[in-house]
A and B are shown apart, each in its own frame.
Chain A
């Protein structure tokens, strides 16, 4: 028993020492000291975001020696969503933070929680599409960080060349291309799906939205107002679900689609084991990291509509940097400078160097560098011909929580397309009621 009491003493003294450490290390929150203003900047904790943030902070501090910026990180994804809301509602948010735009921003109640930045210089450089997704009727709240990106079909150009295929502009052409790949490809998977990461199953539905808007430009508004014509069980929106079911029924998917992960799918696409993959163009950064030599083998084309005249590419708007309303005085000025810096020449340079360029910028302050991945040029072509549309989450605040599960079920043949669409229409009712929208 003697050894245990010795150990107990050791443990106790270690504990006392350990307790002293946080008390000693606690230097209190940031404030102004010796003329310097300190603000804190919150971003997501994954590698790409942290490195970019560090670069931005370094450049900013160099240009503004009287301001220091403290970096804080937190998980992204849905844990992050709730953390954001929790922090804002308990007044414990950092001075400046980086987050999504569109419906996720609306969920933060920006009128109550964020600083209105519509009077800032950089606000006039923004595209109208982007302005719409960082504003409410009462103000504009964020400056863009990063490029926009497309949700469309990524394809391996080499495979297309090999089999003499052309980029499809209608859905039927897409299917016939895929069938040719299946017949003559020698084992290449025509269409990749990766249900191991359930969120990827939504692309057939979400990436089709620009086409829906092309057919009916008011669809998003009608959807938000619970118009019975604007439902997923009706065309043109039903197409998203029927497409997902069709490719499964025709056997055009990779054999291991139920468990394949997003990373594995990108690997297959980059190496040519898979020919086409409905996905966000932002995932090109995975290829840049793991298969840098194959980056330019990948191109992108919009998910085709039934009619070639309607085929448009669906764009996701970039994230933005916001200022919490709890930031005041000197810190508020410093924060505004920081946000403006992000969209200045130096800020754009940081974005070009570090970020993953996956589409055009949404501010005229930044220009794309010359060495962008090829697919960015593909996307630009759609902009040049005016065939773009924003994704639904930027035009309507409604998104049901179960879409992923439903699209996996439809894409695996467990549920029929019509049933899936009906389920999703039911699902969004909750969200609409939660948001207190009229007409639901």
Chain B
């Protein structure tokens, strides 16, 4: 009696979720490694190579014309920057404030805009408007609107006899004001990502919960929030990285001022870059990278661990 030998091309039995699938000899994985190649080529050629080259330059004094190896002097000098401590503090404040606000507001708006509400199409478009305007345009516009003396916002506040703060001229407010404008501009993307996450939840879940008599808050906490976790994780990671690295908005509105009160690491680096300290600013970028990574790796690990597997 001959036993039929299963041809090597047979698929493995589809029983479990495949996570503990033993690697069978001769079975070609349905997830080919060569899928990495196109992206890897681009990544290595246009990103990895220049970045490693620049790491070398961070150890030099570089005027773009001469290179002089100075070891870690640039790093030492960067840490001696007088405004550095304030810059780090500002960076963290800015990063966490903008990120938290975008997550919370983004989710709230996404919930609002995926439910039954009047003018939903219009609202969705309007929330996304600010994302489409260039940062410089937004910066200029809000500089004018928030002008402490002539701006519309303070004029309206004054009309109601409310205090008229110096939005970006008061050293203690400037950073938060820029953060506010950043949130205004960026919340649309967070909302978009959350909306994609929410509509991916099959509505049978909601119906089942409602039939069980769950209230709106309970539905949110037990169904929406857990199932939207991939979106939440993505928004947190993206907005936190973006916030910690942010430069354009701060530069457009205050250039780190008044004085140095809204300086963040990225604007400190840019000022050095502007002044032609290419080695020093590259060292600054390395430091910024290390700092952001030090924050992001634990955050990202934490988020991925708690990701609900569907």
Asked whether the complex places CB atoms of A and B closer than 8 A, the reply is: yes
Residues of A whose CB lies within 8 Å of any CB of B are 78, 81-82, 85-86, 88-89, 107, 109, 112-113, 195-196, 198, 255-256, 258-259, 399-402, 404-406, 408-409, 412, 414-415, 423, 426, 430-431, 433-436
Inter-subunit contact B63/A259 (CB<8 Å): no
**Residue-by-residue, is B155-178 near A (CB-CB < 8 Å gives 1, otherwise 0)?**
000000000001011010000000
Inter-subunit contact A107/B276 (CB<8 Å): yes
User: Could you tell me the distance in whole angstroms from the C-beta of A417 to the nearest C-beta in chain B?
Assistant: 14
Partner of A89, one of B64, B68, B171, B273: B64
Q: Tell yes or no: B272 within 8 A of A by CB.
A: yes
Kindly state the separation between the CA atoms of A86 and B258 in the bound complex, as whole angstroms: 30
CB contacts (< 8 Å) of B256 on chain A: these are: 405
User: Could you tell me the distance in whole angstroms from the C-beta of A435 to the nearest C-beta in chain B?
Assistant: 8
Task: Report whether over half of chain B's contact residues are helix, strand or loop; otherwise say mixed.
Answer: loop
Q: Determine which residue in B63, B168, B171 has the highest number of CB atoms from chain A within 10 A of its CB, and name it.
A: B63
Task: Indicate whether A81 sits within 8 Å of B149 (C-beta atoms), given known contacts A195-B258, A404-B255.
Answer: no
CB contacts (< 8 Å) of A256 on chain B: these are: 147-150
Kindly state the separation between the CA atoms of A266 and B150 in the bound complex, as whole angstroms: 16
Partner of B259, one of A259, A399, A406: A406
Inter-subunit contact A258/B82 (CB<8 Å): no
Inter-subunit contact B277/A259 (CB<8 Å): no
Q: Tell yes or no: B304 within 8 A of A by CB.
A: no
Q: Tell yes or no: B271 within 8 A of A by CB.
A: yes
Q: Tell yes or no: B280 within 8 A of A by CB.
A: yes
CB contacts (< 8 Å) of A89 on chain B: these are: 64-65
| Besides A81-B276, A107-B63, A112-B65, 14 other A-B contacts (C-beta < 8 A) | A85-B276, A89-B65, A195-B169, A195-B258, A198-B257, A256-B147, A259-B148, A400-B275, A402-B260, A412-B259, A423-B82, A430-B280, A433-B77, A436-B61
Q: Tell yes or no: B143 within 8 A of A by CB.
A: yes
Inter-subunit contact B260/A434 (CB<8 Å): no
CB contacts (< 8 Å) of A113 on chain B: these are: 65
User: Could you tell me the distance in whole angstroms from the C-beta of A96 to the nearest C-beta in chain B?
Assistant: 20
Kindly state the separation between the CA atoms of A431 and B280 in the bound complex, as whole angstroms: 11
Inter-subunit contact B275/A405 (CB<8 Å): no
Name A254's closest neighbour in chain B (CB-CB): B149
Residues of B whose CB lies within 8 Å of any CB of A are 61, 63-66, 68, 77, 82-83, 143, 147-150, 166, 168-169, 171, 255-261, 263, 271-277, 279-280
- Show 18 residue pairs from A and B whose CB-CB distance is below 8 angstroms, ordered by the A residue: A82-B274, A85-B64, A85-B65, A85-B276, A89-B64, A107-B276, A113-B65, A198-B255, A259-B147, A259-B169, A401-B274, A409-B260, A415-B259, A426-B82, A434-B63, A434-B275, A434-B276, A436-B68
User: Could you tell me the distance in whole angstroms from the C-beta of B173 to the nearest C-beta in chain A?
Assistant: 12
User: Could you tell me the distance in whole angstroms from the C-beta of B56 to the nearest C-beta in chain A?
Assistant: 16
User: Could you tell me the distance in whole angstroms from the C-beta of A111 to the nearest C-beta in chain B?
Assistant: 10
CB contacts (< 8 Å) of B61 on chain A: these are: 433-434, 436
User: Could you tell me the distance in whole angstroms from the C-beta of A127 to the nearest C-beta in chain B?
Assistant: 28
User: Could you tell me the distance in whole angstroms from the C-beta of A109 to the nearest C-beta in chain B?
Assistant: 4
User: Could you tell me the distance in whole angstroms from the C-beta of B172 to the nearest C-beta in chain A?
Assistant: 11
Q: Which 3 A-B pairs have the closest CB atoms?
A: A409-B259, A258-B169, A401-B275
Task: Indicate whether A82 sits within 8 Å of B259 (C-beta atoms), given known contacts A258-B166, A259-B148.
Answer: no
Kindly state the separation between the CA atoms of A358 and B198 in the bound complex, as whole angstroms: 62
Inter-subunit contact B149/A255 (CB<8 Å): yes
Inter-subunit contact A78/B257 (CB<8 Å): no
Q: Determine which residue in A81, A196, A401, A405 has the highest number of CB atoms from chain B within 10 A of its CB, and name it.
A: A405
Partner of A434, one of B149, B171, B263, B280: B280
Inter-subunit contact B63/A405 (CB<8 Å): no
CB contacts (< 8 Å) of A402 on chain B: these are: 83, 260, 271
CB contacts (< 8 Å) of B150 on chain A: these are: 256
Name A196's closest neighbour in chain B (CB-CB): B143
Name A112's closest neighbour in chain B (CB-CB): B65
Kindly state the separation between the CA atoms of A264 and B256 in the bound complex, as whole angstroms: 21
Inter-subunit contact B168/A195 (CB<8 Å): no
CB contacts (< 8 Å) of B272 on chain A: these are: 401, 430
CB contacts (< 8 Å) of A86 on chain B: these are: 64
Name A108's closest neighbour in chain B (CB-CB): B65
CB contacts (< 8 Å) of B271 on chain A: these are: 401-402
CB contacts (< 8 Å) of B171 on chain A: these are: 414
Inter-subunit contact B258/A412 (CB<8 Å): yes
CB contacts (< 8 Å) of B279 on chain A: these are: 434
Kindly state the separation between the CA atoms of A405 and B273 in the bound complex, as whole angstroms: 16
Inter-subunit contact A434/B148 (CB<8 Å): no
Inter-subunit contact A81/B274 (CB<8 Å): yes
Kindly state the separation between the CA atoms of A426 and B149 in the bound complex, as whole angstroms: 34
Kindly state the separation between the CA atoms of A195 and B276 in the bound complex, as whole angstroms: 24
Kindly state the separation between the CA atoms of A256 and B33 in the bound complex, as whole angstroms: 62
Kindly state the separation between the CA atoms of A408 and B171 in the bound complex, as whole angstroms: 11
Kindly state the separation between the CA atoms of A144 and B160 in the bound complex, as whole angstroms: 56
Inter-subunit contact A430/B277 (CB<8 Å): yes
CB contacts (< 8 Å) of B77 on chain A: these are: 430, 433
User: Could you tell me the distance in whole angstroms from the C-beta of A80 to the nearest C-beta in chain B?
Assistant: 10
CB contacts (< 8 Å) of B277 on chain A: these are: 401, 430-431, 434
CB contacts (< 8 Å) of A81 on chain B: these are: 274, 276
Inter-subunit contact B258/A258 (CB<8 Å): yes
CB contacts (< 8 Å) of B147 on chain A: these are: 196, 256, 259
Kindly state the separation between the CA atoms of A14 and B261 in the bound complex, as whole angstroms: 49
CB contacts (< 8 Å) of A400 on chain B: these are: 275
CB contacts (< 8 Å) of B280 on chain A: these are: 430, 434
Kindly state the separation between the CA atoms of A283 and B263 in the bound complex, as whole angstroms: 28
Kindly state the separation between the CA atoms of A109 and B67 in the bound complex, as whole angstroms: 13
Q: Determine which residue in A408, A409, A434 has the highest number of CB atoms from chain B within 10 A of its CB, and name it.
A: A434
CB contacts (< 8 Å) of A405 on chain B: these are: 255-257, 259-260, 263
User: Could you tell me the distance in whole angstroms from the C-beta of B135 to the nearest C-beta in chain A?
Assistant: 14
Kindly state the separation between the CA atoms of A436 and B60 in the bound complex, as whole angstroms: 12
CB contacts (< 8 Å) of B260 on chain A: these are: 402, 405, 409
